[in-house]
């Protein structure tokens, strides 16, 4: 399979490393050859139609800040859309940052992939949080595959679990903790009695919260993920704007202590029931839903087998890259590149 | 697909009810028709080659204690092996009780199914705990499928999760709580300070522990499940006799209190590392591994994405029947009865 990678930040570079480590093993075990023909970042691209040497591309990115400066393969001649449309590839791996205003540039990249009959793997929440149905329908109409495991739960296969492991048993409700940054902050406040502001600074020092942490803190990142789960697992055709969203900025040490004294913790809980909502909520400390630190969790309530809880790290570049690789292999099965 | 059900206790009757509820929906959604041509219990069988009416078979079982007394379809003329071998069926669903001395009668039923080219779904731990490799190899050599989701985790898809959702990322370690009865007893001791003996009686009153609870209490049930996981997920070709097994009979309220004061709980922990072992062990209360009541949990440590935890109810007749139905549908896909 020929891949074009769009976006070469944490996840993209993680995927580069992962392919370097695992490509030979995948070839041996599954008979699947994976070649990266182009890597596009915000400043240009590296292109080699016989397949890039990823260690060189990673080196160029780390040395010069862009793959475009690779001496043999780097270029700024074409823009990303032209790279997608002018070269032969099977799968476009779309890993640009989430933008919940208009989903760009990811949305245009995905449409451009479809226009030229390329399958898509994406880790970008924007297009799905804003127009899940439109994106999926377009793939369906063209007979193309689109997978987006990495948009939710980092490496933790929350969507695949629901689709592949819950069969002949309807999922009737979802609850979860889908943002590691806020969970880290709330854990700090719970365990150490810190104020929100101090726990946030602490998280920023640890590299867990970004310099502008508003998407996380205000619950928007969690709401995007919940939108994707609501659409893909529960057939609820909503956008992020339909999610009733409250952040954790108003949570006080006094509230947390009060909950703690009653055997509870305050968590940023995502919930799909009659309403779809994200907000701080008390959870019993002895519930499997009450995970700590940067962990994420999803609870699927089922018609016939009570509740399943799936817990794992919710982020990380290389971890999320494992979700991307899973999706690539899944598409390879579906299009017959791997024999069952 | 034509099914023969062997064993008609909790799980078998649960499957009967589940098929009554879901058969039409499965037919509509997947184009898969499921007919039960025979049900065998310990006293005889009911047989109707055009497909039994399961509500009548369930009614006979509940009224007379055996399906053999159904007035039209009941019989004791043939034994179970003859029923398996003399009638046309696609899948044998083997749900007889676990026997860890020689795996019988399940082992013979499975071999008999293979002899007459029938696929197998089993919830019986015995054959797999005693000779996993032999059973799997025989299926493989004959080109038949055997699935056994219901042997581990009840409805919780612990094995399917590892096989279908952890891809291109090796599982390097397993830890878990695989027996609900002992977890209930240890939870009672932890929360209420009860002695082991009193918590056991309590569990028996609740129907959570059996009259003879030794398989659970001594860790044997957990060791069987761990053996199946070690074989199927970790390629460790061991039998239940290779598992270093200790039960919970010796755990005292003083030990539990001491652990509790240090933020820990004592759990019956199953572990696959250098050794494969089952025994009481302290676990931090705030770890996702520390689940309470009758819940089960499995932790898969992976090479590239840290740990995944999967939590759910570990038992229940109808719950386990959902695992059986999952396996049946899986086999239907594999043999081309459902179009992808």
Question: What pLDDT, on the 0 to 100 scale, is given for residue B168?
Answer: 83
Tokens describing residue A113? 């992939």
Within 10 A of A241 (CB to CB), how many other CB atoms are there? 11
Q: In this structure, are strands B307-313 and A91-94 parallel, antiparallel, or unpaired?
A: unpaired
Residues of B in contact with A164 (CB under 8 A): 160, 164-165
pLDDT band at B71 (very low <50, low <70, confident <90, very high): very high
Sign of CA dihedral B14, B17, B19, B22: negative
> Which whole number is the average pLDDT over A302-318?
92
**Cross-strand pairs, B121:** B93, B147
Among the partner residues A291, A319, A326, nearest to B306 by beta-carbon distance? A319
Active-site residue, selected from the candidate residues A125, A147, A188, A225? A225
The ipTM value here is: 0.95
Question: What pLDDT, on the 0 to 100 scale, is given for residue A299?
Answer: 98
Question: What pLDDT, on the 0 to 100 scale, is given for residue B157?
Answer: 97
Phi and psi dihedrals of B12, rounded to 5? -60, -45
Residues of A in contact with B154 (CB under 8 A): 305
**Do residues A20 and A52 make contact, with C-beta atoms less than 8 angstroms apart?**
no
Residues, chain A: 340
Tokens describing residue A297? 């969790």
B204 three-state secondary structure:
helix
**Do residues A282 and A265 make contact, with C-beta atoms less than 8 angstroms apart?**
yes
> Which whole number is the average pLDDT over A190-195?
96
Active-site residue, selected from the candidate residues B125, B147, B225, B267? B225
Alpha helices (H) along B87-123: 106-115
Q: Write the CB contacts of A137 (distance below 8 Å, at least 6 apart in sequence).
A: none
pLDDT at B64 over 70: yes
**Do residues A313 and A296 make contact, with C-beta atoms less than 8 angstroms apart?**
yes
A225 labelled catalytic: yes
**Do residues B304 and B172 make contact, with C-beta atoms less than 8 angstroms apart?**
no
CA distances from A24 to A31, A35, A89 (A): 10, 11, 20
Tokens describing residue A3? 């891949």
> B264: closest CA among B251, B277, B249?
B251
Contact B304 A18 (CB under 8 A): yes
The chain B residue lying nearest A285, using CA atoms, is B286
What is the helix (H) or strand (E) element at residue A86, kind and residue range?
helix A80-86
Rg, Å, chain B Cα set? 21
Distance CA(B156)–CA(A65), nearest Å, equals 46
Within 10 A of B240 (CB to CB), how many other CB atoms are there? 24
Question: What pLDDT, on the 0 to 100 scale, is given for residue B102?
Answer: 96
**Do residues B171 and B233 make contact, with C-beta atoms less than 8 angstroms apart?**
yes
Question: What pLDDT, on the 0 to 100 scale, is given for residue A340?
Answer: 64
pLDDT at B211 over 90: no
Orientation angle between helical segments A317-334 and A10-30, nearest 10 degrees:
40
CA distances from A71 to A60, A66, B41 (A): 9, 11, 74
pLDDT at A314 over 90: no
Sign of CA dihedral A310, A315, A316, A320: positive
pLDDT at B251 over 70: yes
Question: Which percentage of chain B shows pLDDT scores above 70?
Answer: 100
Contact B311 A311 (CB under 8 A): yes
Contact A288 B297 (CB under 8 A): yes
pLDDT band at B340 (very low <50, low <70, confident <90, very high): low
- Mean of the per-residue pLDDT values of chain B: 96
Question: What pLDDT, on the 0 to 100 scale, is given for residue B210?
Answer: 86
What is the helix (H) or strand (E) element at residue B327, kind and residue range?
helix B317-334
**Cross-strand pairs, B6:** B40, B94
Question: What pLDDT, on the 0 to 100 scale, is given for residue B314?
Answer: 86
Maximum separation of any 2 CA atoms in chain B, in Å: 64
The chain B residue lying nearest A310, using CA atoms, is B310
Q: In this structure, are strands B295-302 and B264-272 parallel, antiparallel, or unpaired?
A: unpaired
Distance CA(A87)–CA(A37), nearest Å, equals 9
Q: What per-residue string of b and e applies to B179-188 under the rule 16 or more CB within 10 Å gives b?
A: bbbbbbbbbb
The chain A residue lying nearest B157, using CA atoms, is A165
pLDDT digits (tens, 9 = 90+) for B136-154: 999 999 999 999 999 999 9
Contact B18 A288 (CB under 8 A): no
Residues of B in contact with A313 (CB under 8 A): 305-307
Contact A319 B305 (CB under 8 A): yes
Contact A156 B313 (CB under 8 A): no
As a three-state string, the secondary structure of A197-256 is HHHHHHHHHCCCCCCCCHHHHCCHHHHHHHHHHHHHHHCCCCCHHHCEECCCCCCCHHHH
pLDDT digits (tens, 9 = 90+) for A118-135: 999 999 999 999 999 999
> Which whole number is the average pLDDT over A49-69?
97
Distance CA(A183)–CA(A292), nearest Å, equals 7
Burial of A97 (0-12, 13-18, 19+ CB in 10 A): middle
pLDDT band at A169 (very low <50, low <70, confident <90, very high): confident
To which residue do tokens 């377009």 refer? A138
The chain B residue lying nearest A311, using CA atoms, is B309
Distance CA(B197)–CA(B9), nearest Å, equals 28
pLDDT at B62 over 90: yes
Sign of CA dihedral A267, A268, A270, A274: positive
Question: What pLDDT, on the 0 to 100 scale, is given for residue A279?
Answer: 98
> Which whole number is the average pLDDT over B67-96?
97
pLDDT digits (tens, 9 = 90+) for A72-93: 999 999 999 999 999 999 999 9
Within 10 A of A152 (CB to CB), how many other CB atoms are there? 27
pLDDT at B196 over 90: yes
Phi-psi domain of B29 (left: phi exceeds 0; alpha: psi -120 through 50; beta: other):
alpha
Question: What pLDDT, on the 0 to 100 scale, is given for residue A339?
Answer: 77
Question: What pLDDT, on the 0 to 100 scale, is given for residue B5?
Answer: 98
pLDDT at B4 over 80: yes
Distance CA(B27)–CA(A317), nearest Å, equals 42
The count of CB pairs under 8 A between chains A and B is 131
Distance CA(A234)–CA(A195), nearest Å, equals 37
Distance CA(B302)–CA(A45), nearest Å, equals 33
Q: Write the CB contacts of B286 (distance below 8 Å, at least 6 apart in sequence).
A: A285, A292, B263
Between residues B78 and A212, which one has the greater pLDDT?
B78
């Amino acid at each position: 399979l020929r891949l074009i990678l769009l976006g070469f930040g944490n996840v993209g570079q993680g995927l580069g490393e992962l392919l370097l480590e695992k490509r030979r093993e995948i070839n041996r075990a599954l008979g699947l050859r994976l070649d990266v023909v182009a890597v596009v970042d915000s400043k240009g691209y590296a292109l080699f139609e016989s397949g890039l040497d990823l260690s060189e591309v990673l080196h160029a990115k780390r040395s010069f800040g862009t793959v475009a400066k690779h001496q043999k393969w780097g270029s700024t001649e074409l823009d990303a859309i032209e790279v997608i449309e002018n070269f032969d590839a099977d799968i476009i791996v779309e890993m640009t940052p989430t933008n919940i205003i208009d989903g760009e540039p990811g949305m245009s990249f995905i449409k451009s992939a479809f226009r030229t009959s390329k399958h898509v793997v994406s880790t970008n929440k924007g297009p799905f949080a804003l127009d899940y149905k439109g994106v999926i329908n377009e793939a369906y109409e063209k007979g193309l595959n689109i997978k987006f495991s990495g948009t939710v739960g980092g490496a933790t296969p929350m969507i695949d679990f629901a689709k592949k492991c819950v069969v002949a048993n309807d999922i009737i409700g979802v609850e979860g903790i889908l943002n590691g940054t806020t969970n880290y902050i709330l854990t700090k406040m719970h365990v150490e009695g810190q104020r929100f502001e101090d726990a946030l600074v602490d998280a920023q020092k640890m590299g867990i919260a970004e310099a502008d942490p508003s998407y996380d803190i205000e619950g928007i990142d969690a709401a995007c993920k919940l939108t994707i789960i609501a659409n893909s697992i529960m057939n609820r055709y909503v956008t992020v704007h339909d999610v009733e969203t409250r952040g954790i900025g108003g949570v006080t040490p006094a509230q947390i202590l009060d909950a703690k004294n009653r055997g509870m913790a305050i968590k940023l809980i995502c919930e799909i029931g009659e309403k779809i909502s994200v907000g701080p909520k008390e959870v019993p400390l002895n519930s499997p839903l009450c995970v700590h630190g940067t962990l994420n969790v999803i609870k699927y309530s089922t018609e016939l087998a009570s509740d399943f809880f799936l817990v794992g790290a919710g982020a990380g570049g290389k971890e999320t890259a494992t979700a991307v690789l899973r999706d690539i292999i899944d598409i390879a099965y579906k299009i017959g590149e791997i024999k069952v």
